[in-house]
Amino acid sequence: MMAKRFFLMVMLVALLPGCAQFYGSQPPAPVYGGAGQTATKPQQPAYTGAKEQQRVSKGESGDTVMTEPLEEPKKSPATIEFKPEPMQPDNETVELDSQAGEQPPPLTQSLESMPKAQESIPEPRTLTPFEPLETSASMSPAVDALVLAANQNTSSGNLEVASATIERAIRIEPRNANLYYKLALVRLDQSKPRLAEDLAKKSALLAASDSTLKKHSWLLIAHARELQNNFKGAKEARAKANRL
């Protein structure tokens, strides 16, 4: 057994160099992380020399770059004005106008030809003549003096003073119907028919037994209503005065 092993080892030793020559020389295996590591550098192209530089400068190289000038910006298109064309009349309207023969009259002429409605204008009414009553009822001396002063102020045109004087007399005798009648006359002179009507109503109410003063109070009311264009009310007031 020992001889067979020895024979096999000799045969292996003889075959190994032959196999090494058959496969040829192999490059050494790289060693990573060691001090003797050799790195293979990429091969650089050989220097072409001055002729290659001249060829590149003249533009003979394969990778040529062509440059073109920039285009000028396009101008904006000119604006075109469109004028509206006059509308032509339709054929149908032209035919209708030709068949009619005459054009219709203008609107103003047709309005003038229309009969005008009669406007109702109220007839002017004349005022009924009015004559004031001269009262002569007995009064106290103080009231008599105030009434006399009021009459003088009314004659001279001092209507404000006259009305104030009679109002003082009314405060002395508040149920004297003659004083209200006199103050109503002053309000008529002051162009205050509404106040005159109210004062005359007060006078007619207080003059219960004096029919003459009561009648003239209603006549004063009728005149005041006419000044206010209340002719219907004036007619009613005058009818009451005629019944007294």
In the numeric block, the tokens 């003038």 are attached to 112
- C-alpha span between 156 and 164 (Å, rounded): 15
Residue 165's SS3 state is: helix
- C-alpha span between 187 and 163 (Å, rounded): 8
DSSP string, 111-149: HHHSPPPPP-PPPP-PPPP-----------HHHHHHHHH
> Within its chain, how far is the Cα of 136 from the centroid?
69
Considering the domain 141-243 in this protein, what is its CATH number? 1.25.40.10
| Most confident stretch, 1-15, 63-77, 119-133 | 1-15
pLDDT band at 38 (very low <50, low <70, confident <90, very high): very low
Cβ atoms within 10 Å of 223's Cβ, excluding its own: 24
Give pairs for 129-138: CB < 8 Å, separation 24+. 130/219, 130/220, 130/223, 132/185, 132/216, 132/220, 133/181, 133/212, 133/213, 133/216, 135/178, 135/181, 135/182, 135/213, 137/176, 137/178, 137/210
pLDDT tens per residue, range 142-157:
999 999 999 999 999 9
pLDDT tens per residue, range 154-182:
999 999 999 999 999 999 999 999 999 99
- pLDDT given for residue 61 in this prediction: 47
pLDDT band at 209 (very low <50, low <70, confident <90, very high): confident
**Residues 181 and 224 sit within 8 Å (Cβ to Cβ):** no
Q: Is the model more confident about 113 or about 128?
A: 128
- pLDDT given for residue 130 in this prediction: 83
- C-alpha span between 119 and 189 (Å, rounded): 35
**Residues 203 and 169 sit within 8 Å (Cβ to Cβ):** no
Percent pLDDT > 70 in the chain is 53
- pLDDT given for residue 232 in this prediction: 94
pLDDT band at 2 (very low <50, low <70, confident <90, very high): confident
Indicate the angle between helix axes 231-243 and 211-227, nearest 10 degrees.
170
Least confident of 26-35, 74-83, 192-201: 26-35
Nearest to 169 by CA among 157, 156, 186, 155: 186
The answer, yes or no, to whether residue 107 has pLDDT greater than 50, is: yes
**Residues 127 and 223 sit within 8 Å (Cβ to Cβ):** yes
In the numeric block, the tokens 């650089």 are attached to 44
